Each structure stands twice: as structure tokens, then as C-alpha cells.
């Protein structure tokens, strides 16, 4: 039996990866999107903008049914609610791609799916902040489909081809440019992330297995390290860049912002590191999550960037990432 998927979005990053993986599995895929980008070849298009009054008309006007609907929306929860209500009788399962940001901070290392959640979220709210917006999306999905038909995919850091936040692309472009590179230490800083293609494969497998409820979806802590990631960037780009590993105190003392100005990096032994890179993912691993080596993620992202023939895409609703070359030079003393 051919499975039928409705992807809300599906032309960029996570949505695109899910659509491509579903098409590879032989699924029948419909992509509901705004028409700004073409969906992968083989998917059927329905056009609409959920932020407008009649934005769901194309969905309301079809009698199609689906085995699953996948939604990655990350702004005001209301569009998630409205689409979920419309589709509750026409899709067997709702998958909402959420975030580990829905957990209240501070988060202790080893936080699992039963950790405390942010407060003040609402399924019908206007935009507030990323954490409450994502939690509101979760509430909207569960309210329309029920706990037994809604799957909440709480992702951590997502890397890989089509990345439109710019974290790994920034490192690849910076290292490809060569010269001395400020590499924030320590080299063995443990990272926890998920390749977008592994996220997609687990999600489709979860639909097939009829999973429900929340899952932290990211690799096991220490799946890679900052050193392995940047070494892979050097190897993939063929660059003669010189990684100059720099003590975290020196980096922070220069006023450099972790995570944004130096993407992916956060100081060791900090609450931020525990929040981002020390989550419990045993539930996802028990249900089939497999994470490829960091070298494969970096290579695929670099090949995708080169195929664009120019800068990679950037989401307007996310802060710019990357370090000013003048600041880098000052810290390195060059």
C-alpha cells in the first residue's frame, strides 16, 4: 500500500528533506506551500499562505486524505492550530516538528521528554518567542488530533544540506576562505545534533510505526566534537586553513557571543552547553534513530553549497550568524 503524505511547507531545509525521503520510499506526497520555491520533483503542489484569511482554501477545497501530515511551522501557533483542525478528519496522524527549546530553562544535563516545559504557551496565540511559539504548536497539534495521533518531534541542533539558518554553511565558507581561523576550544567539546536526512528518515519510520507523543530527536551526546566538525570542514573544502584553537575564556573575554557569532560553539561546563548538548535521546534511539558520521554531514552540506553557485539561503526570522573578520583578527593577534 502506498502511503500518502501531506507536507505543510516542504520546499526548504527540514520540510524538503522529509519530502525527498518520502519520495524515495515511494510515498505519494503533496506539498502545501506559498510558491516561493519549487518543491522536489515528484511531489504534487497546493498553493496557499497560512498567514492570510483564506490561506487554507486550497486544502479546504480538496477531498484528499492522507496517512500523515507533517508541519514544521515555527512562528505564531495559530496557523498550526487552524491547519490541524481542518485536517483532523482527513489525516491519520499529525507530526509537528518542534524543538527542545520548549523545555524550561535552566535545563539540567540529561533532560528527557518529561522535563518541565515553558509556561505561557497557547495554541491560538500570536507570535511571542521561539520557545513558546513551538510549545503552542505542540498544543495545537495535540488538541486537534489527540495524544494518540500526534507526534511531537523535539529537535536539537539540525545540520545538513539545505540549511537555511547558516551555522554549518558559515563555518564551511569561512574555512574555505583559508588563512588562520579562530577555532573555539576545547577541541574535544562534545556536540549533539541531528543530520536533517536522519531526522527525516526517523520521522517517516515513526509514522509507519504509528508512534505518538514527544521525542527528543538529536544524536547521543558526544556523537561528534567541535574538533571533528571543523577538521571535517577543512577536509571537505580542501582548504589550507589553519585552525587556531583558542581557550574559551579568551573567546568570551573578547565579547564574542557563543552560538551566533561562533555558530554551533557554546562554552563547556555552562548551562547553555547542558541545554543544547546534553539531552537524553534514549527514547528516539530505541525507536530507530540512526545518526551518520559528521564527515558525511559536512561533505553533503559543502556539495550542496557549491551546487548553488553563490551564498546559501538565510531565514529572515533568525538572527544572522558569523564572526566579524576584524574581531577574529584581533583575537588571533594578526
Q: Residue 117 gets which letter from DSSP?
A: B
What stretches in the chain show pLDDT beneath 70? none
Quote the pLDDT of residue 217: 98
What's the whole-model pTM score?
Answer: 0.96
Summarize pLDDT for 298-319 with one digit per residue, the tens. Answer: 999 999 999 998 788 888 778 8
pLDDT at 35: 92
Which pLDDT belongs to residue 318?
A: 81
Answer whether the bond into residue 294 is a cis peptide, omega within 30°.
Answer: no
258/181 Cα distance (integer angstroms): 16
**Per-residue pLDDT, 309:** 86
Where are the chain's structural domains?
4-155, 164-191+222-278+295-332
CA max distance for the chain: 65
- The position carrying cell 544572522 is 320
Provide CB contacts within 8 A for 17, sequence distance 6+: 160, 161, 162, 196, 197, 199, 200
| Per-residue pLDDT tens digits for 68-105 | 999 999 999 999 999 999 999 999 999 999 999 999 99
Whole-angstrom distance, CA of residue 102 vs CA of residue 152: 11
Q: Which of 33, 144, 44 is closest to 92 using CA atoms?
A: 144
Q: If you average pLDDT over every residue of the chain, what do you get?
A: 96
- pLDDT at 40 (0 to 100): 95
Distance CA 228, CA 235 (A): 10
**pLDDT given at position 1:** 81
Q: What is the pLDDT of residue 11?
A: 93
Distance CA 75, CA 129 (A): 8
> Measured between alpha carbons, how far is 172 from 194 in angstroms, rounded to an integer?
18
pLDDT given for residue 320 in this prediction: 87
Q: Which fold has domain 4-155?
A: Rossmann fold (3.40.50)
For residue 196, give every residue at least 6 positions away whose Cβ sits within 8 Å of its Cβ, in sequence order, or none: 13, 14, 17, 158, 159, 160, 161, 162, 163
Question: Residue 263 in contact with residue 171, Cβ under 8 Å?
Answer: yes
Architecture of the domain defined by 164-191+222-278+295-332: Alpha-Beta Complex (3.90)
Nearest residue to 23 (alpha-carbon basis) of 197, 211, 164, 217: 197
Amino acid at each position: 500500500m502506498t502511503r500518502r503524505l501531506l507536507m505543510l511547507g516542504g520546499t526548504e531545509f527540514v520540510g524538503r528533506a522529509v519530502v525527498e525521503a518520502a519520495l524515495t520510499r515511494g510515498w505519494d506526497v503533496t506539498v502545501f506551500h506559498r510558491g516561493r520555491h519549487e518543491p522536489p520533483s515528484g511531489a504534487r503542489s497546493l498553493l496557499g499562505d497560512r498567514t492570510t484569511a483564506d490561506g487554507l482554501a486550497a486544502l479546504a477545497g480538496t477531498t484528499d486524505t492522507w496517512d500523515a501530515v507533517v508541519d514544521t511551522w515555527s512562528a505564531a501557533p495559530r496557523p498550526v492550530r487552524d491547519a490541524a483542525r481542518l485536517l483532523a478528519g482527513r489525516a491519520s496522524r499529525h507530526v509537528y516538528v518542534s524543538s527542545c527549546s520548549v523545555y524550561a530553562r535552566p535545563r539540567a544535563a540529561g533532560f528527557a521528554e518529561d522535563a518541565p516545559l515553558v509556561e505561557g504557551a497557547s495554541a491560538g496565540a500570536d507570535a511571542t518567542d521561539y520557545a513558546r511559539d513551538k510549545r503552542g504548536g505542540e498544543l495545537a497539534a495535540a488538541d486537534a488530533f489527540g495524544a494518540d495521533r500526534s507526534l511531537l518531534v523535539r529537535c536539537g541542533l539540525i545540520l545538513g544540506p539545505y540549511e537555511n539558518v547558516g551555522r554549518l554553511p558559515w563555518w564551511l565558507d569561512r574555512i574555505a576562505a583559508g588563512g588562520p581561523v579562530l577555532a573555539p576550544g576545547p577541541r574535544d567539546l562534545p556536540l549533539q545534533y541531528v543530520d536533517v536526512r536522519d531526522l527525516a528518515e526517523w520521522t517517516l519510520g515513526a509514522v509507519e510505526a504509528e508512534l505518538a507523543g514527544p521525542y527528543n530527536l538529536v544524536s547521543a551526546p558526544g556523537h561528534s566534537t567541535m574538533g571533528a566538525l571543523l577538521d571535517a570542514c577543512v577536509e571537505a573544502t580542501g582548504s589550507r586553513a589553519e585552525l587556531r584553537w583558542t581557550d574559551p575564556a579568551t573567546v568570551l573575554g573578547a565579547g564574542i557571543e557563543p552560538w551566533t557569532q561562533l555558530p554551533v560553539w557554546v562554552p563547556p561546563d555552562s548551562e547553555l552547553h547542558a541545554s543544547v548538548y546534553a539531552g537524553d535521546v534514549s527514547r528516539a534511539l530505541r525507536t530507530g534513530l540512526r545518526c551518520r558520521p559528521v564527515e558525511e554531514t559536512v561533505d553533503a552540506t559543502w556539495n550542496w553549497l557549491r551546487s548553488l553557485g553563490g551564498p546559501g539561503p538565510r531565514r529572515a526570522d533568525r538572527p544572522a550568524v558569523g564572526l566579524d573578520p576584524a574581531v577574529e583578527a584581533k583575537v588571533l593577534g594578526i
